[in-house]
Amino acid sequence: MTKKQIHLGAHFPGVNNTTVWADPESKSQIEFDSFVHLAESAERGLFDFFFLAEGLRLREHRNKIHDLDVVGRPDTLTVLNALASVTTKLGLAGTINTTFNEPFELAKQFSSLDHLSDGRAAWNMVTSSDAFTGENFRRGGYLDRADRYVRANEIIDVARKLWDSWQSDAFVVDRERDIFGRESEIRAVRHTGPQFEVEGRFTLPRSPQGHPVLLQAGDSDEGREFGAAKADAIFTIHGTLEDGQKFYSDVKGRLAKYGREHVDLKVLPAATFVLGDSAQDAVEKADHIRHQQVSGKTAISFLEQVWGQDLSAYDPDGPLPDIEPSGDVSITRGRARHGDPRTIAQQYRERAEADNLSIRELIIAMTTRQQFVGTPAQVAEEIDNYVQNNASDGFILVPHITPAGLDEFVDKVIPELQDRGSFRTEYAGTTLRDHLGLRHPYEQREGVRAS
Protein backbone atom coordinates (compact mmCIF):
# COMPACT_ATOMS: atom_id res chain seq x y z
CA MET A 1 0.00 0.00 0.00
CA THR A 2 1.35 3.42 -1.02
CA LYS A 3 1.75 5.72 1.95
CA LYS A 4 0.29 9.19 2.01
CA GLN A 5 3.06 11.65 1.19
CA ILE A 6 4.00 14.40 3.62
CA HIS A 7 4.06 18.03 2.48
CA LEU A 8 6.39 20.50 4.20
CA GLY A 9 6.74 24.25 4.16
CA ALA A 10 9.60 26.23 5.70
CA HIS A 11 8.56 29.37 7.58
CA PHE A 12 10.92 32.35 7.91
CA PRO A 13 9.44 33.54 11.20
CA GLY A 14 10.88 37.00 11.84
CA VAL A 15 11.07 38.43 15.36
CA ASN A 16 8.30 37.03 17.54
CA ASN A 17 7.83 34.73 20.50
CA THR A 18 8.66 31.69 18.35
CA THR A 19 12.17 32.82 17.52
CA VAL A 20 15.06 33.30 19.90
CA TRP A 21 16.44 36.45 18.30
CA ALA A 22 18.93 37.06 21.13
CA ASP A 23 20.64 33.68 20.65
CA PRO A 24 24.21 34.07 19.29
CA GLU A 25 23.28 31.69 16.46
CA SER A 26 20.46 33.97 15.31
CA LYS A 27 21.42 36.22 12.40
CA SER A 28 19.90 39.15 10.53
CA GLN A 29 16.19 39.37 9.75
CA ILE A 30 16.92 41.81 6.93
CA GLU A 31 20.03 40.72 5.04
CA PHE A 32 19.30 38.76 1.90
CA ASP A 33 21.79 36.06 2.88
CA SER A 34 19.47 35.02 5.72
CA PHE A 35 16.57 34.42 3.34
CA VAL A 36 18.86 32.61 0.91
CA HIS A 37 20.20 30.30 3.63
CA LEU A 38 16.77 29.15 4.79
CA ALA A 39 15.46 28.81 1.23
CA GLU A 40 18.46 26.79 0.09
CA SER A 41 18.17 24.53 3.13
CA ALA A 42 14.48 23.96 2.39
CA GLU A 43 15.19 23.16 -1.26
CA ARG A 44 18.01 20.80 -0.27
CA GLY A 45 15.46 19.08 1.97
CA LEU A 46 12.97 18.86 -0.94
CA PHE A 47 10.40 21.00 0.89
CA ASP A 48 7.32 22.06 -1.00
CA PHE A 49 7.71 25.77 -0.31
CA PHE A 50 9.34 28.65 1.56
CA PHE A 51 6.88 30.82 3.49
CA LEU A 52 6.98 34.47 4.57
CA ALA A 53 4.59 36.12 7.00
CA GLU A 54 3.82 39.84 6.88
CA GLY A 55 3.44 42.70 9.33
CA LEU A 56 1.67 45.85 8.17
CA ARG A 57 2.28 47.89 11.30
CA LEU A 58 4.55 47.65 14.32
CA ARG A 59 2.46 46.18 17.09
CA GLU A 60 2.09 48.32 20.19
CA HIS A 61 1.54 47.16 23.76
CA ARG A 62 0.65 49.76 26.38
CA ASN A 63 1.49 52.44 23.79
CA LYS A 64 5.01 51.14 23.23
CA ILE A 65 6.36 49.13 20.32
CA HIS A 66 6.03 45.44 21.14
CA ASP A 67 9.40 43.73 20.70
CA LEU A 68 7.87 40.38 19.74
CA ASP A 69 6.52 41.10 16.30
CA VAL A 70 7.33 40.72 12.60
CA VAL A 71 9.61 43.76 12.40
CA GLY A 72 12.40 45.11 10.26
CA ARG A 73 11.70 42.85 7.28
CA PRO A 74 11.88 43.87 3.61
CA ASP A 75 8.76 43.69 1.45
CA THR A 76 7.50 40.11 1.05
CA LEU A 77 7.15 40.08 -2.74
CA THR A 78 10.54 41.74 -3.19
CA VAL A 79 12.19 38.97 -1.16
CA LEU A 80 10.31 36.18 -2.96
CA ASN A 81 11.12 37.51 -6.43
CA ALA A 82 14.78 37.73 -5.45
CA LEU A 83 14.70 34.15 -4.11
CA ALA A 84 13.30 32.96 -7.44
CA SER A 85 16.74 33.62 -8.92
CA VAL A 86 18.65 31.48 -6.38
CA THR A 87 16.28 28.50 -6.20
CA THR A 88 14.99 26.21 -8.93
CA LYS A 89 12.19 24.00 -7.57
CA LEU A 90 11.17 25.39 -4.18
CA GLY A 91 7.74 27.03 -3.98
CA LEU A 92 7.67 30.68 -2.87
CA ALA A 93 4.74 31.67 -0.65
CA GLY A 94 3.99 35.11 0.72
CA THR A 95 1.35 36.54 3.02
CA ILE A 96 -0.36 39.56 1.45
CA ASN A 97 -3.42 41.22 3.00
CA THR A 98 -6.72 41.27 1.09
CA THR A 99 -8.11 44.17 3.14
CA PHE A 100 -5.61 46.87 2.23
CA ASN A 101 -4.78 45.98 -1.39
CA GLU A 102 -6.57 46.07 -4.74
CA PRO A 103 -7.36 42.97 -6.83
CA PHE A 104 -5.63 44.09 -10.04
CA GLU A 105 -2.32 44.85 -8.35
CA LEU A 106 -2.42 41.61 -6.34
CA ALA A 107 -3.26 39.56 -9.44
CA LYS A 108 -0.39 41.17 -11.35
CA GLN A 109 2.13 40.83 -8.51
CA PHE A 110 1.50 37.11 -7.98
CA SER A 111 1.25 36.38 -11.70
CA SER A 112 4.61 38.12 -12.09
CA LEU A 113 6.13 35.96 -9.33
CA ASP A 114 4.68 32.85 -10.98
CA HIS A 115 6.26 33.81 -14.33
CA LEU A 116 9.64 34.76 -12.87
CA SER A 117 9.83 31.55 -10.82
CA ASP A 118 8.54 29.26 -13.60
CA GLY A 119 5.41 28.31 -11.68
CA ARG A 120 6.36 28.36 -8.00
CA ALA A 121 4.25 31.23 -6.62
CA ALA A 122 1.81 31.01 -3.71
CA TRP A 123 -0.30 33.68 -2.04
CA ASN A 124 -1.30 33.35 1.62
CA MET A 125 -4.54 35.34 1.73
CA VAL A 126 -5.19 37.05 5.06
CA THR A 127 -7.81 39.53 6.19
CA SER A 128 -7.83 42.38 8.70
CA SER A 129 -10.52 44.42 10.39
CA ASP A 130 -8.01 46.16 12.62
CA ALA A 131 -8.47 49.94 12.50
CA PHE A 132 -5.05 50.41 14.12
CA THR A 133 -3.36 48.64 11.21
CA GLY A 134 -5.62 50.48 8.80
CA GLU A 135 -4.24 53.82 9.93
CA ASN A 136 -1.17 53.07 7.79
CA PHE A 137 -3.40 53.05 4.70
CA ARG A 138 -5.39 55.65 2.80
CA ARG A 139 -8.79 54.38 3.87
CA GLY A 140 -7.85 53.66 7.45
CA GLY A 141 -9.82 51.10 9.45
CA TYR A 142 -12.94 51.44 7.38
CA LEU A 143 -13.79 47.76 7.04
CA ASP A 144 -16.19 46.18 9.52
CA ARG A 145 -15.14 42.78 10.82
CA ALA A 146 -18.26 41.22 9.28
CA ASP A 147 -17.14 42.41 5.82
CA ARG A 148 -13.55 41.18 5.83
CA TYR A 149 -14.35 37.87 4.13
CA VAL A 150 -16.85 39.57 1.81
CA ARG A 151 -13.96 41.64 0.50
CA ALA A 152 -11.54 38.71 0.48
CA ASN A 153 -13.92 36.52 -1.53
CA GLU A 154 -14.47 39.26 -4.07
CA ILE A 155 -10.75 39.99 -4.41
CA ILE A 156 -10.10 36.34 -5.26
CA ASP A 157 -13.03 36.29 -7.69
CA VAL A 158 -11.64 39.34 -9.52
CA ALA A 159 -8.06 38.01 -9.49
CA ARG A 160 -9.21 34.72 -10.99
CA LYS A 161 -11.09 36.55 -13.75
CA LEU A 162 -7.89 38.45 -14.54
CA TRP A 163 -5.71 35.32 -14.50
CA ASP A 164 -8.23 33.50 -16.72
CA SER A 165 -8.62 36.33 -19.23
CA TRP A 166 -5.67 35.30 -21.40
CA GLN A 167 -6.35 32.05 -23.23
CA SER A 168 -3.52 29.51 -23.34
CA ASP A 169 -2.80 30.28 -27.01
CA ALA A 170 -3.07 34.07 -26.72
CA PHE A 171 0.68 34.68 -26.40
CA VAL A 172 2.12 33.81 -29.82
CA VAL A 173 5.32 35.75 -30.67
CA ASP A 174 5.17 34.85 -34.39
CA ARG A 175 7.88 37.03 -35.97
CA GLU A 176 7.25 35.90 -39.53
CA ARG A 177 3.56 36.80 -39.36
CA ASP A 178 4.20 39.85 -37.16
CA ILE A 179 1.89 38.60 -34.40
CA PHE A 180 2.86 39.07 -30.79
CA GLY A 181 -0.46 38.14 -29.23
CA ARG A 182 -3.92 37.19 -30.45
CA GLU A 183 -6.17 40.03 -29.37
CA SER A 184 -9.23 37.84 -29.79
CA GLU A 185 -7.82 35.48 -27.13
CA ILE A 186 -7.30 38.24 -24.56
CA ARG A 187 -10.67 38.90 -22.99
CA ALA A 188 -11.63 42.16 -21.33
CA VAL A 189 -12.56 41.75 -17.66
CA ARG A 190 -15.71 43.45 -16.44
CA HIS A 191 -16.60 43.11 -12.78
CA THR A 192 -19.07 45.01 -10.65
CA GLY A 193 -19.54 44.05 -7.02
CA PRO A 194 -20.05 45.49 -3.54
CA GLN A 195 -16.32 46.15 -3.09
CA PHE A 196 -14.87 46.63 -6.57
CA GLU A 197 -15.56 47.79 -10.09
CA VAL A 198 -12.91 46.57 -12.51
CA GLU A 199 -12.91 46.93 -16.28
CA GLY A 200 -10.03 46.36 -18.69
CA ARG A 201 -7.57 43.83 -20.01
CA PHE A 202 -5.03 42.10 -17.80
CA THR A 203 -1.44 42.94 -18.69
CA LEU A 204 0.18 39.50 -18.34
CA PRO A 205 -0.34 36.23 -20.21
CA ARG A 206 -1.43 33.12 -18.35
CA SER A 207 1.27 32.08 -15.89
CA PRO A 208 2.78 28.58 -15.64
CA GLN A 209 0.39 27.41 -12.90
CA GLY A 210 -2.67 29.14 -14.37
CA HIS A 211 -3.32 30.53 -10.90
CA PRO A 212 -0.70 30.81 -8.17
CA VAL A 213 -1.33 28.41 -5.30
CA LEU A 214 -3.70 30.04 -2.79
CA LEU A 215 -3.05 29.55 0.93
CA GLN A 216 -5.33 30.74 3.70
CA ALA A 217 -4.96 31.12 7.46
CA GLY A 218 -8.01 31.12 9.68
CA ASP A 219 -9.64 28.77 12.17
CA SER A 220 -12.97 30.58 12.55
CA ASP A 221 -16.06 29.19 10.87
CA GLU A 222 -15.87 32.01 8.32
CA GLY A 223 -12.22 31.25 7.73
CA ARG A 224 -12.85 27.54 7.23
CA GLU A 225 -15.64 28.25 4.75
CA PHE A 226 -13.47 30.72 2.86
CA GLY A 227 -10.65 28.17 2.75
CA ALA A 228 -12.93 25.40 1.50
CA ALA A 229 -14.26 27.67 -1.25
CA LYS A 230 -11.08 29.39 -2.38
CA ALA A 231 -7.84 27.96 -0.97
CA ASP A 232 -5.47 25.25 -2.15
CA ALA A 233 -4.00 24.90 1.34
CA ILE A 234 -4.99 25.99 4.84
CA PHE A 235 -2.36 27.17 7.32
CA THR A 236 -3.76 26.33 10.73
CA ILE A 237 -2.84 25.61 14.35
CA HIS A 238 -3.86 22.64 16.46
CA GLY A 239 -2.08 20.91 19.29
CA THR A 240 -3.25 17.30 19.41
CA LEU A 241 -3.88 14.47 16.99
CA GLU A 242 -7.57 14.45 17.88
CA ASP A 243 -7.99 18.21 17.37
CA GLY A 244 -6.18 17.93 14.06
CA GLN A 245 -8.44 15.13 12.88
CA LYS A 246 -11.54 17.16 13.78
CA PHE A 247 -10.31 20.21 11.87
CA TYR A 248 -9.18 18.09 8.92
CA SER A 249 -12.53 16.32 8.68
CA ASP A 250 -14.45 19.58 9.03
CA VAL A 251 -12.72 21.55 6.27
CA LYS A 252 -12.47 18.59 3.90
CA GLY A 253 -16.18 17.97 4.45
CA ARG A 254 -16.99 21.48 3.20
CA LEU A 255 -15.38 20.99 -0.21
CA ALA A 256 -18.15 19.09 -2.00
CA LYS A 257 -20.56 22.04 -1.95
CA TYR A 258 -18.02 23.94 -4.06
CA GLY A 259 -17.51 21.08 -6.51
CA ARG A 260 -14.10 20.24 -5.08
CA GLU A 261 -12.44 16.99 -4.00
CA HIS A 262 -10.36 16.16 -0.92
CA VAL A 263 -7.11 16.37 -2.91
CA ASP A 264 -7.88 19.98 -3.86
CA LEU A 265 -7.18 21.31 -0.36
CA LYS A 266 -4.13 20.58 1.80
CA VAL A 267 -4.24 21.08 5.57
CA LEU A 268 -0.85 22.30 6.84
CA PRO A 269 -0.64 23.29 10.51
CA ALA A 270 2.25 25.35 11.84
CA ALA A 271 4.69 23.37 13.98
CA THR A 272 7.99 23.78 15.75
CA PHE A 273 10.55 21.06 16.43
CA VAL A 274 13.38 20.32 18.83
CA LEU A 275 15.83 17.49 18.19
CA GLY A 276 18.02 15.72 20.74
CA ASP A 277 20.36 12.76 21.01
CA SER A 278 17.75 11.14 23.28
CA ALA A 279 14.14 11.84 24.17
CA GLN A 280 15.18 13.35 27.51
CA ASP A 281 17.84 15.51 25.86
CA ALA A 282 15.23 16.89 23.44
CA VAL A 283 12.75 17.63 26.25
CA GLU A 284 15.41 19.54 28.18
CA LYS A 285 16.37 21.51 25.07
CA ALA A 286 12.73 22.32 24.35
CA ASP A 287 12.20 23.59 27.89
CA HIS A 288 15.30 25.77 27.64
CA ILE A 289 14.15 27.21 24.30
CA ARG A 290 10.66 28.04 25.57
CA HIS A 291 12.12 29.84 28.58
CA GLN A 292 14.31 31.83 26.19
CA GLN A 293 11.25 32.69 24.09
CA VAL A 294 9.03 33.66 27.02
CA SER A 295 10.90 35.88 29.47
CA GLY A 296 9.25 37.16 32.64
CA LYS A 297 8.57 40.47 30.88
CA THR A 298 7.04 38.70 27.89
CA ALA A 299 4.85 36.55 30.14
CA ILE A 300 3.43 39.64 31.84
CA SER A 301 2.81 41.26 28.45
CA PHE A 302 0.86 38.21 27.26
CA LEU A 303 -1.18 38.21 30.45
CA GLU A 304 -1.92 41.93 30.12
CA GLN A 305 -3.39 41.25 26.67
CA VAL A 306 -6.01 39.04 28.35
CA TRP A 307 -6.58 41.11 31.50
CA GLY A 308 -6.58 44.41 29.58
CA GLN A 309 -4.64 46.33 32.21
CA ASP A 310 -1.21 47.06 33.62
CA LEU A 311 0.06 43.99 35.51
CA SER A 312 3.70 45.04 35.77
CA ALA A 313 3.52 44.92 39.57
CA TYR A 314 2.92 41.17 39.51
CA ASP A 315 5.76 38.66 39.82
CA PRO A 316 5.97 36.51 36.63
CA ASP A 317 7.13 33.63 38.83
CA GLY A 318 4.16 34.10 41.14
CA PRO A 319 0.44 33.23 40.89
CA LEU A 320 -2.15 34.72 38.53
CA PRO A 321 -3.80 38.02 39.51
CA ASP A 322 -6.87 37.65 41.72
CA ILE A 323 -8.61 40.49 39.86
CA GLU A 324 -11.00 40.17 36.94
CA PRO A 325 -10.13 41.22 33.36
CA SER A 326 -11.18 44.76 32.53
CA GLY A 327 -12.56 43.87 29.13
CA ASP A 328 -10.33 46.52 27.53
CA VAL A 329 -8.94 44.99 24.34
CA SER A 330 -7.05 48.11 23.24
CA ILE A 331 -4.01 47.53 25.48
CA THR A 332 -2.38 45.69 22.56
CA ARG A 333 -2.91 47.10 19.08
CA GLY A 334 -2.09 45.40 15.80
CA ARG A 335 -2.66 41.82 16.97
CA ALA A 336 -5.55 39.51 16.16
CA ARG A 337 -7.72 38.70 19.18
CA HIS A 338 -9.40 35.36 19.70
CA GLY A 339 -12.18 34.87 22.23
CA ASP A 340 -13.73 36.67 25.18
CA PRO A 341 -11.10 37.86 27.73
CA ARG A 342 -13.12 36.67 30.74
CA THR A 343 -13.55 33.22 29.25
CA ILE A 344 -9.84 33.01 28.48
CA ALA A 345 -8.96 34.20 31.98
CA GLN A 346 -11.12 31.45 33.47
CA GLN A 347 -9.37 28.86 31.30
CA TYR A 348 -6.02 30.24 32.46
CA ARG A 349 -7.07 30.00 36.10
CA GLU A 350 -8.26 26.42 35.72
CA ARG A 351 -5.02 25.36 34.01
CA ALA A 352 -2.80 27.19 36.53
CA GLU A 353 -4.63 25.65 39.46
CA ALA A 354 -4.66 22.15 38.01
CA ASP A 355 -0.91 22.15 37.27
CA ASN A 356 0.23 24.59 39.98
CA LEU A 357 1.73 26.97 37.40
CA SER A 358 3.22 30.43 37.84
CA ILE A 359 2.36 33.21 35.39
CA ARG A 360 5.41 32.50 33.25
CA GLU A 361 4.93 28.73 33.33
CA LEU A 362 1.27 29.19 32.40
CA ILE A 363 2.03 31.46 29.44
CA ILE A 364 4.64 28.98 28.22
CA ALA A 365 2.07 26.18 28.46
CA MET A 366 -0.76 28.16 26.82
CA THR A 367 1.23 29.72 23.96
CA THR A 368 3.27 26.72 22.84
CA ARG A 369 2.09 25.74 19.38
CA GLN A 370 2.20 22.26 17.84
CA GLN A 371 5.66 20.99 18.74
CA PHE A 372 7.62 17.88 17.79
CA VAL A 373 10.24 17.02 20.38
CA GLY A 374 12.49 13.96 20.38
CA THR A 375 15.22 12.18 18.47
CA PRO A 376 15.12 12.52 14.67
CA ALA A 377 13.51 9.08 14.40
CA GLN A 378 10.89 9.94 17.01
CA VAL A 379 10.04 13.27 15.37
CA ALA A 380 9.75 11.61 11.96
CA GLU A 381 7.46 8.94 13.41
CA GLU A 382 5.19 11.51 15.06
CA ILE A 383 4.93 13.69 11.96
CA ASP A 384 4.17 10.62 9.88
CA ASN A 385 1.53 9.52 12.38
CA TYR A 386 -0.33 12.84 12.06
CA VAL A 387 -0.34 12.65 8.27
CA GLN A 388 -1.19 8.96 7.88
CA ASN A 389 -4.08 9.37 10.36
CA ASN A 390 -5.55 12.39 8.57
CA ALA A 391 -4.80 15.02 11.18
CA SER A 392 -2.97 16.98 8.48
CA ASP A 393 -1.40 16.68 5.04
CA GLY A 394 1.92 17.94 6.37
CA PHE A 395 3.28 20.89 8.31
CA ILE A 396 4.72 24.36 7.94
CA LEU A 397 7.81 24.18 10.12
CA VAL A 398 8.87 27.21 12.15
CA PRO A 399 12.50 26.96 13.32
CA HIS A 400 13.41 28.93 16.43
CA ILE A 401 16.74 30.12 15.01
CA THR A 402 17.01 32.21 11.84
CA PRO A 403 18.31 31.32 9.34
CA ALA A 404 20.11 28.05 10.18
CA GLY A 405 17.40 26.54 12.37
CA LEU A 406 16.08 24.25 9.63
CA ASP A 407 19.44 22.66 8.80
CA GLU A 408 19.35 19.95 11.47
CA PHE A 409 15.84 18.89 10.44
CA VAL A 410 16.91 18.60 6.80
CA ASP A 411 20.03 16.62 7.69
CA LYS A 412 18.47 14.26 10.25
CA VAL A 413 14.68 14.05 9.99
CA ILE A 414 14.17 14.15 6.22
CA PRO A 415 16.19 10.91 5.72
CA GLU A 416 14.06 9.24 8.40
CA LEU A 417 10.86 10.28 6.60
CA GLN A 418 12.26 9.05 3.30
CA ASP A 419 13.16 5.69 4.86
CA ARG A 420 9.53 5.40 6.00
CA GLY A 421 8.36 5.93 2.42
CA SER A 422 6.43 9.07 3.40
CA PHE A 423 8.54 11.76 1.76
CA ARG A 424 9.91 12.32 -1.71
CA THR A 425 13.51 11.55 -2.61
CA GLU A 426 13.43 14.01 -5.50
CA TYR A 427 11.09 16.62 -6.93
CA ALA A 428 8.74 14.96 -9.39
CA GLY A 429 7.69 18.16 -11.14
CA THR A 430 8.68 21.78 -11.58
CA THR A 431 5.74 23.78 -10.21
CA LEU A 432 4.41 24.18 -6.68
CA ARG A 433 1.15 22.58 -7.81
CA ASP A 434 3.21 19.55 -8.86
CA HIS A 435 4.85 19.37 -5.43
CA LEU A 436 1.53 19.63 -3.57
CA GLY A 437 -0.28 17.20 -5.88
CA LEU A 438 -2.87 19.83 -6.80
CA ARG A 439 -4.92 19.75 -9.95
CA HIS A 440 -4.60 22.60 -12.43
CA PRO A 441 -7.30 25.20 -11.62
CA TYR A 442 -8.97 24.62 -14.98
CA GLU A 443 -9.19 20.89 -14.30
CA GLN A 444 -10.96 21.69 -11.03
CA ARG A 445 -13.33 24.10 -12.76
CA GLU A 446 -14.11 21.65 -15.58
CA GLY A 447 -14.66 18.73 -13.21
CA VAL A 448 -11.73 16.56 -14.31
CA ARG A 449 -11.42 13.91 -11.61
CA ALA A 450 -8.19 13.70 -9.65
CA SER A 451 -6.06 10.66 -10.41
Question: Concatenated DSSP letters for 247-296?
Answer: HHHHHHHTSGGGT--GGG-EEEEEEEEEE-SSHHHHHHHHHHHHHHHS-H
Asked whether 159 and 106 are in contact (CB, 8 A), the reply is yes
> Which is more confidently placed, 211 or 170?
211
Which pLDDT tens digit goes with each residue over 276-330? 999 999 999 999 999 988 889 889 988 998 898 899 999 999 999 999 888 776 7
Which pLDDT tens digit goes with each residue over 22-60? 788 988 888 999 999 999 999 999 999 999 988 787 777
What pLDDT is attached to residue 450? Answer: 47
What pLDDT is attached to residue 451? Answer: 44
> Which is more confidently placed, 48 or 182?
48
> Which is more confidently placed, 328 or 395?
395
Ramachandran class of 63: left when φ > 0, alpha when ψ lies in -120 to 50, beta otherwise: left
Q: Considering only 12-16, 174-178, 371-375, which range has the smallest mean pLDDT? A: 174-178
Q: Does residue 190 carry a pLDDT above 70?
A: yes
| Position 87 confidence tier, pLDDT thresholds 50, 70, 90 | very high
What pLDDT is attached to residue 33? Answer: 96
What pLDDT is attached to residue 393? Answer: 97
Asked whether 170 and 206 are in contact (CB, 8 A), the reply is yes
Task: Write the CA distances from 441 to 208, 224, 256, integer angstroms.
Answer: 11, 20, 16
- Picking from 404, 390, 86, the residue whose alpha carbon sits closest to that of residue 246 is 390
Which pLDDT tens digit goes with each residue over 97-132? 888 889 999 999 999 999 999 999 999 998 886 777
Q: Hey, what amino acid is at 223?
A: G
